Structure 1
Amino acid sequence: MERQHGSITRGILHLRRQRHRGSASRDTSPFVALRDGMGSLVERLQQSLREVQVLRSTAVVGVTPLSDGGVHLSLATGEPLRADAVIVTVPAYTAAEWLQSWNAKAARLLREIPYASTAVVSLAYRRQGVQHPLDGSGFLVPRTEPLPITGCTWSSSKWEGRAPADHVLLRVFIGYAGADQIVEQQWDDLLARVAHDALCPLLGIREEPVLARVHRWLKAMPQYEVGHAARLKQLEEALSPFPMVHLAGSAYRGVGIPDCVKQGREAAEKAWQYALRS
């Protein structure tokens, strides 16, 4: 792109002009999301499964390899469950608890993966109460700025069907690694007030939100520190004597949904091949 247009910025502007020329409307958003929310992805997956038993609202509290090559799952109900193989997709710190009794090295490596807590504050306003045209997708806040938020997505501009025509929906992000105490310690109404007060001067908001919702994601964002790839290699080596146990999820090779789907597919293939051999 830089070689063709002289700079990356010129290349991006060229692509943006091309997109506008090829669009039926300048208001068409280039972003895509599931109309009924991310939960519908899991619901659709469950509906597509055949000859599979899905245990919903059933918590696993432990995983233990068996001498015959299988896996014993400990359920919160106290019922035993045996499997040929298992794919562990819980956060790394939870997986560490499960592995501690039979693989201390792997448990230590998992425990070393740090996590941050964040909060998402959804605020809805009457359109006439927001002066900014919201002609974009939102903004990010660099850490050098003295603001208590890390970014804001203009959801009703970014995706269709997120708010009535005379209202706007904004999603504000609070907390990051090393500065997530506010997310873990403060009340929901305070987080909503922090988000609202931060947006008012930036977007020219002149009234209170008609709706405010706070969703906390405590210890939900894994941090890929320097040396993360080396740690994963050591983790694979520590688990190599236990081919019936597989790891997948945001703590390892990507936090995005496509990354996690890819890891899930790869782990499922490995588990299936192991089950065929055992």
Structure 2
Amino acid sequence: MNQIKNIAKLLRPAQWYKNLLVFVPIVFSGNLANLHLLMLTFVGFLALCAVSSANYVINDLIDIKSDRRHPEKRKRPLAARKIKIWQAIVLAIVLLIIAVGISAGLDINFFYAVAFLFGFSLLYSLLLKREPFLDIIAIGINFVVRAVAGVFIIGVETSPWLIACVFFLALFLLAGKRHSDAAFLGKNAKKHRSTLKIYTPTITNALMIITTTLLVVSYSLYSFLSDNTSYLIFSLPFALYLIFRYFSLVYTGSPIARHPERVFLDLRMDIAMVLWAIATLVILYFL
């Protein structure tokens, strides 16, 4: 039973929320009620979860030594020696086989997207995460790939402004994470992540302001210029609250900023997300 728990931790299911971006095209194209397309998108979501977990396993294998020196990451199964290296390698291979099998059966372009996601994530683990600014841009690109993968599955066009929103959302979350990581690790920050030598408070403050502005502007433009309905502008107040609330979490030292997957632990964020989702669905499907 403990081994199953360790494997589950190694797969990092809490990070699968990123793969929900594959549902963005079907929701905003007005096809959510199409059960066939919805099922295909769900299957695509499973493929993305498999390839994402494979990447997390590989990343933990690469970072196993540095993770053992980190106050939080040292508790990861590989770093804590709860899972053997050969077991992790086998697990990564199995996950990749599952991802390839599912994606190849769905759509060739979706398969290419999954292959790119794996390859680019591997490049991130080996190189890009050690390059300031390129690290957050790389993760932003991976967010976009997940959304575009959803476009390939259902075969519809989507607004470039919607894709821009996804990209800037990723940059916003990553800027907040870098700021919070540096604050949490303090003087030891540089020892745990080399890029934190560059991500000084001045730099991360500027990044937070820039990415917040870009996210607000891109979502506002999408709301105004949406091909489906001009009423999306009425969802803007909820979106703005979510952005500003998260911004405040970054600067009040909340652990949520270091772990965005825990955002659901914040009641105000939960209420705002539900209200935004209801407003968006009503506008897209009933107005």
- Into which bin does the TM-score normalised by the smaller protein fall? under 0.3
> Greater relative contact order (Cα 8 A, min sep 6): structure 1 or 2?
1
What is the TM-score with the length of structure 1 in the denominator? 0.22
In our comparison, the structure showing a higher alpha carbon Rg is 1
